[in-house]
Amino acid sequence: MSSIDKLVENTIREDIRAIASYHVPDARGYIKLDAMENPYALPEHLRADLGQRLADAALNRYPVPSYATLKAKICASLGVPAGYDVLLGNGSDELISIMATAVAQQGRRAVIMAPTPAFIMFSRSAQFAGADFVGVPVKADFSLDLDAMLAAIAQHQPALVFLAYPNNPTGNLFDAGAMEAIIGALGETGIAVVDEAYQPFARQSFMGRLPEFPNLVVMRTLSKLGLAGIRLGYLSGDAKLLEQFEKVRPPYNVNVLTQVAAEFALEHLDVLDQQAGLLNAERSRLAAELAALPGVEVFPSAANFISMRVPDGERTVAELRSKKVLIKNLSKMDKMLVNCIRVTVSTPEENTAFLNALKASL
């Protein structure tokens, strides 16, 4: 064994050494439909204005630590109820990690829970923070198994429960009444995180319900709306909870360029909302065309992606890749998702390219 291998073995946690890193394939030259990005850029005139704003940003200075202007703009334009503030993250990924770190205990290990299949960072962040992750399988139609969730909550007393609304990778919106029952059951012992990453497409939200549930926090991101590159997530909830998470947040986690670009984007939300509307129309078209294909079982989606079961998921993903179309293979993620694939809803041209490549592979 080389000395660097010995060093790794002596210093790096065993559970970290055992896992593979979060894989992001190189998409150059591909039609990229694997990461739920908005395919539309900002219009030319807005890009020029944004360029000027970025040029004026004081890159020699750390960001203003309170992020007061950006937070005020988020609260004013993104439906945060009066009296509620936000915590900012370098993407919602970082917020997930901050919350996991804040609840993980030494000694009695804390439990972090989510209905599964779920976004992978829920379990990964739990693991990295030293908490146990308990996944509670959804029903065969991907709806919440409320009885199983309530039983698991009673058994494990989770400190944190993630509910993605809509869920990734299945795309469906969970029943709001079942979500309320879970949030209620957690009461004073657990925090419910409603992850609304896909809210710009679902247009349903728990944000307005914050005053009803002191243990509820609502997490959103600018990523799917069209700003995946700037990495900005935000979390709203009771000030006393945010204050605790704030202690774990690395100082200056949101950089000056992100701050400026996000403020600019929020001034032009109408443009982004319009793009989301176009994508929703395309989602309907794509879902209808997919449903007509023999051998394809399309799952209902309220997000900017569609998941489906095909006869041979592995082969379909490989064949599409050979035709330069990149989609996500869900087969290995969860036993409920064998032969399932996920495609991001994109421009009409890219969606048609995907449909044609899929038809040829079936």
Counting beta carbons within 10 angstroms of the beta carbon of residue 76, is it exposed (0 to 12), middle (13 to 18) or buried (19 or more)? exposed
142-171 residues in contact with ligand PMP (CB under 6 A) are: 164, 168
**From 91, 115, 158, 171, residue interacting with ligand PMP (rule: CB under 6 A):** 91
Q: Which residue, 168 or 258, has its beta carbon nearer to ligand PMP? A: 168
Nearest-angstrom CA–CA distance, 271 and 44: 12
From residue 170 to residue 209, what is the string marking binding to ligand PMP with x (rule CB under 6 A)?
-------------------------x-x------------
Mark the segment that binds ligand PMP (CB under 6 A) among 127-135, 150-158, 220-228, 341-349: 220-228
Least Å distance between CB 277 and ligand PMP?
20
What span, in angstroms and rounded, lies between the C-alpha atoms of 211 and 341? Answer: 38
Show contacts of 136-141: CB within 8 Å, 24+ apart: 137/336, 138/167, 138/170, 138/336, 140/336
Q: Is 92 in the site for ligand PMP (CB under 6 A)?
A: yes
Q: Which stretch binds ligand PMP (CB under 6 A): 87-95, 184-192, 292-300, 336-344?
A: 87-95
Q: How far is the CB of 195 from ligand PMP (least distance, A)?
A: 5
Whether the CB-CB separation of 93 and 121 falls below 8 Å is answered with yes
Answer for the pair 87, 235: CB distance below 8 angstroms, yes or no: yes
CB-based contact 248:98 (threshold 8 Å):
yes
CB of 360 to ligand PMP, least distance (A): 28
User: What is the residue type of 255?
Assistant: N
Under rule CB under 6 A, residue 97 binds ligand PMP: no
**Closest CB 108 distance from ligand PMP, rounded Å:** 28
Amino acid at 65: P
List of residues contacting ligand PMP (CB under 6 A): 36, 91-93, 119, 164, 168, 195, 197, 221, 223, 228, 233
